[in-house]
Amino acid sequence: MIFEVFRQERRGQAFAHAGSIVAPDMEFAEAWAREQYGRRQESEALWIVPRDAVTEVHDFPDELNKTYHRVDGYSLKAKLKEARERAGTAAS
């Protein structure tokens, strides 16, 4: 069986995919993942998930090119600068 392992590096952080483990059952997967991804104190916690339990979704059609769903070209930097300036003026 293949198990996917997710690793949390610091308390409070999001878990990120670390890699996978081939193991006969969850007991072996846990022991092996512990050594593979935790022996150097590089993990705060692990999630170990049988690959079969993961639902993959990969189809995201965008036939009509709806660029307004995206943030490209939208300069947050300029807006922020402007907002800060206004706030600065208001405060003084």
Partner 1 sequence: MSERAQRLLELADDELILGWRDSEWTGVAPSLEEDVAFSSIAQNEIGHARALYELAARDLETTADELAFDRDPSEYRSAPLVELRRMDWAHTIARHWLYETADEIRLESLKASEDAEVAGLAAKMDREEAYHRMHAAMWVGRLRGDERFETAVDDLWPYALGVLPEEQRGELAERIGRPVVDAVERGGHSDELRELWEEMTMVRRSVPGATW
Chain residues in the site for partner 1 (CB under 8 A): 21-24, 27-28, 31-32, 34-36, 39
Nearer to partner 1, 31 or 54 (CB): 31
Nearer to partner 1, 19 or 52 (CB): 19
Decide: residue 5, CB within 10 A, 0-12 exposed, 13-18 middle, 19+ buried.
buried
Count of residues making up the chain: 92
Where are the strands (E) in the chain, listed by range?
Answer: 2-8, 16-22, 45-50
Both tokens of residue 27? 């007991």
Smallest distance from partner 1 to CB 37, Å: 10
Nearer to partner 1, 15 or 32 (CB): 32
Smallest distance from partner 1 to CB 13, Å: 24
